[in-house]
Amino acid sequence: MNLDFTLLAGLLAVLLAVSLLLFVALRPRYQDIDVTRRRPTGDVDGGESVITRMADATVSAVERGVGRNRGGMFGRDALQEAGLAIKQSEFVVLILVGSFVLSVAGFILGGILLALFLAAVSPFIAWLLLAMRTGKRRRKFGEQLTDMLRAISGSLRSGHSITSSMHSASLEMPAPMSEELARIVNENRVGRPVSDAMADVGRRMQCEDFEWLSQAIEINREVGGDLAGVLDHAAETVRERSQIKGQVRALAAEGKFSAYILIGLPFVVAILINVVNPGYMATLFQSLLGWIFIIVGVIMMAIGSFWISRMVKIEF
């Protein structure tokens, strides 16, 4: 009877947390507009559900707590680099809800120790997903650089300025290049030099080619010359560098795939053993020595993963 009640309470808690998670993640952007502007009839009461008010109150409370920090692991800069159009407070709420869901699931499956472990590891999982999304966005930005240079060069030959050419390219290029070019154009409109804005984008996206491009534009602005020709030469250089990077990534793919197998194999084997013989691994979760072995194994795997990642990462 107690077990059935615990399972029912856990399932209800998970459903409530998932509902809040989905609402915060999928909440439309017009929620930030004043409610009186969206309801001209003046009916501002009774239109919001309990979940809506609870989510808004939670996000507001977290926003007052975290403030408006730009830096940090989950700061606004980190979210922008990952291409997430979400507030910092909303992202923190997502992490808290995910931690709660994992802790409830861990309590149902393995008890209080597993629940505490999953709750503590949730922020690390969120950081890992954010880092993976940021890395993917930066790689895509570098792949689009050649096409962007050719588009700007063609626009310059048509008689447009560098700012107008970037604006045209931002309308034609896909994300993330379009987003970063639009940001450069907007910063230039408020008085910031194009070269400085481009250098900032290059540092944020960790793209040395884009930083060199900003220096080339600044030099051309000071001494004059054919900027379109300079961009054509830069596009050719970037294309050749991209080919070399592709060859290196292809050669290192075998090592990366081996690393993925070695890292994931212990977890897959543990899951299979637990499915085939559920009581075989119960000792690990029911004794202090078993938890010590689990923690030591995780630490050793983290160290090994770090060294493998350093071995297969090639600096250009």
Residue 185 pLDDT? 92
Handedness of CA 78, 81, 87, 91 (dihedral sign): negative
Give the Cα separation of 51 and 30 in Å (integer).
Answer: 17
Amino acid letter, residue 297: G
Output the average pLDDT for the chain. 77
1 pLDDT tier (thresholds 50, 70, 90): very low
Domains and CATH numbers, the chain: 2-125 (no CATH), 143-244 (1.20.81), 251-312 (no CATH)
Answer yes or no: are the C-beta atoms of 164 and 155 closer than 8 Å.
yes
Contacts of 78 (CB under 8 A, 6+ apart): 72, 130, 134
Q: Does position 304 have pLDDT exceeding 50, yes or no?
A: yes
Evaluate the CA torsion angle 211, 214, 220, 223 in order and state its sign.
Answer: negative
Does residue 109 have a pLDDT over 80? no
Q: Check if the beta carbon of residue 123 is closer than 8 Å to that of residue 95.
A: yes
CA–CA separation, 166 and 172 (whole Å): 10
HSE value, Cβ hemisphere, 13 Å, CA-based, for 110: 21
Read off the pLDDT band of 124 (50, 70, 90).
confident
- Amino acid letter, 134: T
- For residue 60, the model assigns a pLDDT of 60
For the chain, what is the total number of helices (H) and then of strands (E)? 14, 0
**CA-CA distance, 119 to 123, in Å (whole number)?**
8
